[in-house]
């Protein structure tokens, strides 16, 4: 790793995003907002805002949506390695809020440029030069070549001595739990840190509790398991201990992307040398803050934003 190398590298599919601007079905929406979103780029943006040098790689179509994806991610200080695919379009997701308490996301990504990730897309020395490789369970379910790219990246990370971070991030639209389970379990067992919710760990090891899944992962060589509990906070299973961190009381506006913000907060704290309790506090704060604004990544905090939130700055007017 050189002084110019990114501390974290990640790759995956980032899509254009269209969302309703009001509560109600798409059938009756009067206006829509436009943006982008993708789990891996959400984490990359979150890390960059927290002062971590980060690089994201992905395929986009030779179209205006692909240009927007690249511009938005790069605009937040992430090193972008975009492969422009002239034979496939940039994927699209559409988000609606059928009620004040629910969100529905619809994906239009079959055969998209992002799904065509390939091991040959990974630049020489890119993974090997990083301190940490972050991956998600979305990538291997996109296509056979995307899954091969993920395994190739893990092989290369091991050679370079990078930490391997894996967020299960199961998407039922891509595969059934029965089909996805073995694929995701293999990848989790090849990782150093695994993030997931209670239901996601049950997909890896049917019938197991989060503590039981953590023990199984530890037996396979994974050192750290992080259980995301949403507003209830999170727990870390490391060695034979469980360390818990409390969540924050907020009024959520949009919960999509909160898990990615949590991961960015956790990894930034880890790379910044914080103790585990402080890492969890930062991660839970980042996850909560991501829920306060519509969008997948727009509310990901900077260090200054985070400091104000943790200090209890409740004044709605800043002069």
Q: What does the DSSP 8-state code read for residue 77?
A: T
Q: CB-based burial of residue 315 (10 Å sphere; 0-12 exposed, 13-18 middle, 19+ buried)?
A: exposed
Asked if 107 and 154 count as a contact pair (C-beta separation under 8 A), the reply is no
- DSSP letters along 140-184, please? GGT-HHHHHHHHHHHHHHHHHT-EEEEE----TTTS-HHHHHHHH
Q: Which of 79, 121, 254, 260 is catalytic?
A: 260
Pairing between strand 163-167 and 132-136?
parallel
CA distances from 306 to 10, 69, 118, 313 (A): 23, 26, 37, 10
Strand partners, 105: 95
Asked if 56 and 11 count as a contact pair (C-beta separation under 8 A), the reply is yes
Q: φ and ψ at 125, to 5 degrees?
A: 80, -5
**HEC assignment per residue over 250-310:** CCCCCCCCHHHHHHHHHHHHHHCCCCHHHHHHHHHHHHHHHCCCCCCCCCCCCHHHHHHHH
* Residues in CB range of 275: below 8 A, 6 or more apart: none
**260: annotated active-site residue:** yes
Residue given tokens 């993708």 in the structure block: 38
What positions carry a catalytic annotation? 260
């Amino acid at each position: 790793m050189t002084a110019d190398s990114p501390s974290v590298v990640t790759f995956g599919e980032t899509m254009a995003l269209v969302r309703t601007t009001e509560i109600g079905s798409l059938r009756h929406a009067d206006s829509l907002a436009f943006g982008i979103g993708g789990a891996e780029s959400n984490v990359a943006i979150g890390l960059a805002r927290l002062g971590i040098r980060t690089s994201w790689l992905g395929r986009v179509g030779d179209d205006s949506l692909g240009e927007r994806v690249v511009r938005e991610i790069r605009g937040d200080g992430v090193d972008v390695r975009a492969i422009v695919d002239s034979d496939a379009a940039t994927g699209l997701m559409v988000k609606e809020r059928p009620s004040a308490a629910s969100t529905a996301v619809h994906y239009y990504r079959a055969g998209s440029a992002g799904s065509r990730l390939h091991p040959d897309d990974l630049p020489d020395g890119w993974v090997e030069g990083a301190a940490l490789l972050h991956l998600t369970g979305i990538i291997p379910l996109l296509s056979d070549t995307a899954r091969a790219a993920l395994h190739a990246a893990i092989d290369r990370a091991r050679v370079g001595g990078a930490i391997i971070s894996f967020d299960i991030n199961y998407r039922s639209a891509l595969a059934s739990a029965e089909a996805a389970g073995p694929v995701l379990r293999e990848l989790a067992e090849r990782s150093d840190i695994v993030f997931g919710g209670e239901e996601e760990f049950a997909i890896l090891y049917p019938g197991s509790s989060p503590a039981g899944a953590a023990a199984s992962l530890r037996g396979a060589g994974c050192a750290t398991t992080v259980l995301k509990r949403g507003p209830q906070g999170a727990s870390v299973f490391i060695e034979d201990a469980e360390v818990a961190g409390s969540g924050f009381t907020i009024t959520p506006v949009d919960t999509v992307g909160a898990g990615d913000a949590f991961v960015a907060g956790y990894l930034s704290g880890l790379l910044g040398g914080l103790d585990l309790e402080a890492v969890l506090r930062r991660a839970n704060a980042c996850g909560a803050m991501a829920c306060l604004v519509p969008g997948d990544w727009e509310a990901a905090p900077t260090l200054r934003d985070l400091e104000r939130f943790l200090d209890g700055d409740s004044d709605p007017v800043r002069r």
